[in-house]
Amino acid sequence: MRSIIPAALLGGLLLLPVDAFLTHRNPIDAWRTISLTVIERVEPPEPAVRVRVTAYCGGECCTGKWHVYNRTASGTKPRRYITVAADTDVFPFGTVIYLPGIGMVTVEDRGGAIKGNHLDIYVGLGPNKHEEALQFGSRFLTARVVYQPEGMR
């Protein structure tokens, strides 16, 4: 599998191969290599989806259990403001979603109360994280699915 990095291009998203950056010491040479290479076709963005966004901490108060190993339902280590819990029938594990004002998030967890177009953002584990999750509140945002795992569309 080829590694990719996102790069902004005219307000869209372009996926570039990392190989070019690893084989050249000079970034200008890397960009020349990329400009001469046919880059995988970029699909048009998915239509906007209206989602309800809330937040949760890694403590027992939000998850119902104490996370000794601090792992998500997909087996990954949760990342602050990147990991989201979702209804995996709507957004399968590995789906990357752009949320305005927050950025790119990845579906890596799920929860019993998360149904339909509801995303729950992980805000961390530690002192004051539960208060941070409560202060986040509930917001309705227009999201865009940037990437969905193959076979899950």
Q: Does 2 have pLDDT greater than 50?
A: no
123 phi and psi, to 5 degrees?
A: -105, 0
Max Cα–Cα distance, the chain, nearest Å? 53
Please check whether residues 53 and 32 belong to one and the same domain: no
Please check whether residues 136 and 62 belong to one and the same domain: yes
Rounded to an integer, the average pLDDT of 89-99 is: 94
| Cα–Cα distance for residue pair 130/33, rounded to 1 Å | 47
In a domain, 152, yes or no: no
In a domain, 43, yes or no: no
Domain count, the chain: 2
Please check whether residues 66 and 130 belong to one and the same domain: yes
pLDDT at residue 5 in the model: 46
Report the percent of the chain where pLDDT is more than 70. Answer: 61
- Cα distances (Å, whole numbers) of residue 113 to 84, 88, 126, 135, 140: 13, 12, 22, 19, 17
pLDDT at residue 67 in the model: 55
Please check whether residues 140 and 117 belong to one and the same domain: yes
Rounded to an integer, the average pLDDT of 65-93 is: 85
Q: Where are the beta strands (DSSP E) in 18-122?
A: 49-56, 83-86, 96-99, 103-109, 118-122
Please check whether residues 25 and 62 belong to one and the same domain: no
pLDDT band at 35 (very low <50, low <70, confident <90, very high): very low
Rounded to an integer, the average pLDDT of 126-147 is: 90
Domain assignment of residue 63, given as a range: 49-147
Rounded to an integer, the average pLDDT of 3-11 is: 43
Please check whether residues 97 and 53 belong to one and the same domain: yes
| Cα–Cα distance for residue pair 82/64, rounded to 1 Å | 21
Q: Considering only CA atoms, which of 144, 93, 99 is closest in space to residue 121? A: 99
Please check whether residues 126 and 63 belong to one and the same domain: yes
- How deeply is 54 buried, as exposed, middle or buried, from its count of CB atoms within 10 A (0-12, 13-18, 19+)? buried
CATH at 60: 2.40.40.10
Q: Does residue 6 or residue 101 have the better pLDDT?
A: 101
Please check whether residues 142 and 85 belong to one and the same domain: yes
Q: Does residue 23 or residue 87 have the better pLDDT?
A: 87
Q: Does residue 1 or residue 80 have the better pLDDT?
A: 80
pLDDT band at 152 (very low <50, low <70, confident <90, very high): low
Please check whether residues 28 and 58 belong to one and the same domain: no
